[in-house]
């Protein structure tokens, strides 16, 4: 359901007032004022128990206008039958305006910014989650001007948990008490989006006890797409955790559209602008180095958590001998780069979900199995079958010319061939778009295609790949 119960009542009240006005339904009975009063009560209850939503502002305005019009008509006519003398022309005019307002009031919450509903994870475990924030004393933060600033990362971990009936559900994005602080400097469209997604109900429980079913669990590192936060993949992380994985999702500050939140409430604002570097392989290699170092730092911190978790939850529970990594978009490229740069890390297998192979060119494959998932558009791009007008469209790839497209596609093909040598698997997901690999398609159709069946298929493929190459890893058997 994309509207809450009291919101539905508010809409129904405004609709009945409009119908009563337009068609003079039972004009001698004071039912319209009663509906307006009931709707007002429903509105108050909605604000108290469900909370206001920015995307519901058109509904609030529509109901307020209807109720106010009813009150004014009652005062002017000194009667409880407010619309009995309304002329036909006025009823037609206001009826059309009211119908337009009703359409807008429904369009935004039901289509443009619906409530995000995450599917129930299918695994046998409950899901717990904990958030960490780590500062690397060996690296300076190059995004800021203060030379004393050190690079920090945020990591949210999902893990198999004991089922908790009365435990606190984890927030989807940020703790409610920090929403205002996080959103106050955002542009209006991002504030609207954050307000919408912050009401998402997760299936993860905050700091729930780790499941006692196993002594320790395999670990998956995750790196999100450029501009995206680690919470934007909860449909995947909850699913993997429910099937017995500890998933450590890394957030790369200054590369996200939403600020990164530190435990003390401080927010890291400002998204790094890559400018024209999108297909400058050298420039993107420099950016990729930051992400690879972030992941390497996170791996070292996970070893410390395994020795002594400050929450007292994950100590001894991370099986770092069974380690995998996956990522989306730029984070998918990072998964390959980490496996390539740190073969001693023991990452057994990796997945790139629709990420162009930025970073250092890999020519001889990776030390373990690697799955390259892509959309049909990405496959066409690499094979130079994409129409030139799409490749040069600023809203799509924004390449300067058809000639540049051919050059970039040729380099893409070379890099992908080298990346997949030996242990690589290429898989094209028919019907998917770039955001199908995240929760973004659930947010609004303006950001991606909403296709829960495809999302399920991708999640199942991830699970099967990691089950084979990470969970059931046996060094005595061939991979």
Strand order across the 150-161 sheet? 204-206, 126-140, 150-161, 246-251, 217-223, 318-328, 347-353, 370-375, 424-429
User: What would the pLDDT profile of 209-237 be if each residue is shown by its tens digit?
Assistant: 999 999 999 999 999 999 999 999 999 99
Residue 119 lies in a domain: no
Residue 476 lies in a domain: no
Residue 68 lies in a domain: yes
User: What would the pLDDT profile of 46-104 be if each residue is shown by its tens digit?
Assistant: 888 888 887 888 888 888 888 888 888 778 777 777 776 777 888 888 888 888 888 88
* Shared-domain flag, residues 51 and 181: no
Please provide the average confidence, as pLDDT, over all residues in the chain.
90
Determine contact, residues 325/222, Cβ cutoff 8 Å: yes
Can you tell me the mean pLDDT for 235-248?
A: 98
pLDDT classification of 26: cutoffs 50, 70, 90:
low
Per-residue pLDDT at 479: 47
Closest CA to 322 of 299, 287, 349, 286: 349
Q: How many CB atoms lie within 10 A of CB 460?
A: 12
User: What would the pLDDT profile of 381-413 be if each residue is shown by its tens digit?
Assistant: 999 988 988 888 887 888 889 999 999 999 999
Per-residue pLDDT at 21: 78
Residue 117 lies in a domain: no
User: What would the pLDDT profile of 101-141 be if each residue is shown by its tens digit?
Assistant: 888 888 877 777 788 999 999 999 999 999 999 999 999 99
User: What would the pLDDT profile of 357-388 be if each residue is shown by its tens digit?
Assistant: 999 999 999 999 999 999 999 999 999 988 98
Q: Name 210's bridge partners.
A: 161
* Shared-domain flag, residues 23 and 64: yes
* Shared-domain flag, residues 180 and 104: no
Which of the two residues, 82 and 206, has the higher pLDDT score? 206
* Shared-domain flag, residues 108 and 172: no
Residue 260 lies in a domain: yes
* Shared-domain flag, residues 196 and 103: no
Residue range(s) defining the domain that contains residue 225: 126-471
């Amino acid at each position: 359901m994309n509207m809450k119960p009291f919101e539905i009542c508010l809409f129904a009240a405004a609709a009945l007032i409009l119908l009563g006005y337009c068609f003079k339904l039972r004009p001698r009975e004071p039912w319209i004022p009663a509906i307006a009063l009931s709707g007002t009560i429903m509105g108050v209850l909605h604000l108290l128990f469900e909370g206001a939503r920015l995307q519901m502002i058109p509904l609030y305005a529509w109901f307020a206008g209807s109720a106010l019009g009813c009150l004014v008509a009652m005062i002017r006519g000194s009667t409880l039958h407010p619309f009995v003398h309304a002329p036909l022309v006025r009823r037609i005019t206001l009826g059309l305006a009211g119908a337009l307002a009703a359409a807008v009031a429904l369009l935004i919450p039901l289509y443009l910014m619906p409530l995000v509903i995450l599917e129930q994870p299918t695994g046998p475990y409950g899901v717990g989650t904990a958030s960490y924030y780590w500062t690397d004393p060996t690296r300076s933060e190059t995004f800021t001007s203060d030379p004393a600033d050190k690079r920090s990362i945020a990591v949210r971990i999902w893990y198999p948990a004991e089922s908790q009936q009365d435990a606190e559900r984890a927030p989807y994005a940020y703790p409610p008490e920090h929403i205002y602080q996080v959103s106050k400097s955002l542009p209006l469209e991002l504030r609207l989006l954050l307000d919408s997604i912050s009401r998402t109900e997760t299936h993860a429980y905050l700091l729930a006890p780790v499941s006692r079913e196993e002594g320790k669990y395999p670990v998956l590192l995750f790196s999100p797409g450029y501009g995206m936060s680690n919470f934007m993949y909860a449909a995947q992380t909850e699913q993997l955790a429910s099937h017995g994985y500890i998933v450590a999702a890394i957030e790369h500050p200054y590369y996200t559209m939403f600020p990164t939140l530190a435990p003390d409430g401080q927010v890291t604002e400002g998204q790094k602008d890559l400018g024209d570097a999108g297909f400058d392989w050298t420039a993107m290699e420099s950016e990729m180095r930051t992400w690879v170092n972030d992941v390497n730092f996170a791996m070292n911190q996970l070893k410390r958590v395994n020795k002594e978790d400050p929450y007292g939850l994950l100590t001894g529970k991370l099986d770092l001998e069974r380690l995998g990594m996956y990522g989306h978009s730029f984070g998918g490229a990072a998964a390959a780069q980490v496996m390539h740069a740190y073969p001693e890390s023991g990452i057994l297998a990796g997945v790139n979900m629709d990420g162009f192979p930025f970073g250092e060119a890999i020519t001889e494959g990776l030390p373990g199995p690697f799955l390259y998932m892509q959309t049909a558009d990405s496959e066409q791009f690499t094979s130079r079958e994409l129409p030139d007008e799409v490749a040069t469209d600023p809203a799509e790839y924004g390449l300067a010319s058809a000639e540049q497209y051919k050059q970039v596609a040729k380099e893409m093909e070379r890099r992908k061939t080298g990346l997949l040598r030996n242990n690589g698997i290429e898989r094209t997901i028919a019907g998917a778009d770039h955001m199908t690999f995240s929760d973004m398609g659930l947010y609004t159709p303006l950001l991606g295609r909403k296709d829960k069946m495809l999302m399920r298929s991708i999640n199942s493929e991830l699970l099967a790949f990691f089950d084979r190459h990470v969970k059931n890893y046996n060094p005595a058997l061939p991979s």
